[in-house]
Structure 1
């Protein structure tokens, strides 16, 4: 392998590590913000705090189911959108998708 190919390979590996950090940070940030917004919305609409632990038998089943479904779906969607934005930024910066997001060739 030539020096330029080796340098390119190391740069690509660094870029993929940077992507992993970007994906993690954007996902965690999105989840944290979404959780706060949903908690505020729950409290405003029900007058109660959201269930801290939906698995707790003392939490009403209907509240546990609704809270789990709404938070799970919303956090997953917001996290996906945040990571897509991070991926677009990455592509603009590096010129390619990170290996973790390369298109499936099957």
Structure 2
């Protein structure tokens, strides 16, 4: 049970940290590439559809990849520390 709680906290911290870092990097990259701030709400009707789709696509991919890599790194660290993978990852077929 304690291992499960440790893994939950590790996984949460890793994904939250990765999400924040990816968003900051993406916002900076967007400003450099376009010369303006990214749309705060792509669903707003005053944001062009092209800009909304571009931001949603790029941010979704960047945040998704960052979270996946962070989760993998956290799982690897957990395995090295405990000698086994977290329970929710042990049964996965590769």
1:16, distance to aligned residue in structure 2 (A): 1.1
1:101, distance to aligned residue in structure 2 (A): 1.1
Which runs of 5 or more structure 2 residues have no equivalent in the other structure? none
Structure 1 outlier segments of 4+, above 2 Å: none
Note if 1:37 corresponds to 2:13. no
Which runs of 5 or more structure 1 residues have no equivalent in the other structure? 1-12
**What's 1:10 paired with?**
none
Matches for 1:50-89 after TM superposition, within 5 Å: 50-89=38-77
In structure 1, C-alpha distance between the alignment counterparts of 2:92 and 2:10, rounded to whole Å: 21
Matched pairs, number: 93
Moved more, 37-46 or 95-104: 95-104
Secondary structure of 2:46's counterpart equals: coil
Query: Normalising by structure 1, what TM-score?
Result: 0.84
1:95, distance to aligned residue in structure 2 (A): 0.8
In structure 2, C-alpha distance between the alignment counterparts of 1:100 and 1:24, rounded to whole Å: 14
In structure 1, C-alpha distance between the alignment counterparts of 2:64 and 2:72, rounded to whole Å: 12
In structure 1, C-alpha distance between the alignment counterparts of 2:70 and 2:92, rounded to whole Å: 21
